[in-house]
Amino acid sequence: MIPSEIEQYCINHSSAQDEVAKELFEYTKNNIHGSNMLIGPMEASLLSFLIKFGRLKSILEFGTFTGYSALVMAEALPVDGTVTTIDINPHTTKTAREFWDKSSHGNKITQILKPGMSAIEEIHQSFDLIFIDADKNNYSHYLNWSLNHLNPKGVIVVDNTLWYGKVLKRGEDKQTDSIIAHNQTVAELEGYTKVLLPIRDGITLITKS
């Protein structure tokens, strides 16, 4: 949504990630199909800021991919913090584990290899931060579940809520309509404060108020 030189300037003037996370980012970009799905350093710095500012300790993530976002969130957590991350792809999650094992923060991360909808049936705790970044068609389901599993001072972060700018037009495809429906639900939520930021592909933040 912003020119790449401006985004790079923002990255250069924000806190950077640890070496293993940087290495994982480069490895994914150069070797893994679909690397455009990575959140990237700008969003990584934002997640890290939210975690540290809010003194957050427990995180649930929908959408591990090669584990970059899980690792940058783990880096921002205190030693007793935890990240539980869900994905269905055994190949990319294997890469994730290989890199996490190289990091001193990897032991904070637990991986669940299941579809998000069935994984959440077995999760009965609440979290300080819930990051939604998996299959777009289930965004509304993940959101509803997250609203019921968010700690009082917690935050829900939803990625890709501008969906390449396609959210301005209904009826393009199923994923776009799903994100439009999710965004409408968020806009109408009562008892929550929310903001949709035009950072990268759109990031929505939601907290109880």
| Residues near 136 by beta carbon (within 8 Å), at least 6 away in sequence | 160, 163, 175, 178, 179
- In the bound complex, what is the minimum distance in angstroms from residue 80's beta carbon to ligand SAM? 23
Residue 23 is a binding residue for ligand SAM (CB under 6 A): no
CA R_g for the chain: 16
User: How many residues bind to ligand SAM according to rule CB under 6 A?
Assistant: 18
Binding residue for ligand SAM, selected from 35, 89, 140, 207, defined by CB under 6 A: 89
To the nearest 10 degrees (0 to 180), the angle between helices 174-188 and 139-147 is 30
Does residue 86 belong to the site contacting ligand SAM (CB under 6 A)? yes
84 lies in the binding site for ligand SAM (CB under 6 A) = no
Near ligand SAM by CB under 6 A: residue from 18, 54, 115, 181: 115
Among 187, 123, 191, residue whose Cα is nearest residue 152? 191
Q: Is 134 near ligand SAM (CB under 6 A)?
A: yes
User: What tokens appear for 183 in the block?
Assistant: 């965004």
Q: Which residue has the tokens 């640890």?
A: 18
Residues that bind ligand SAM (CB under 6 A): 37-39, 63-65, 68-69, 86-89, 92, 115-116, 133-135
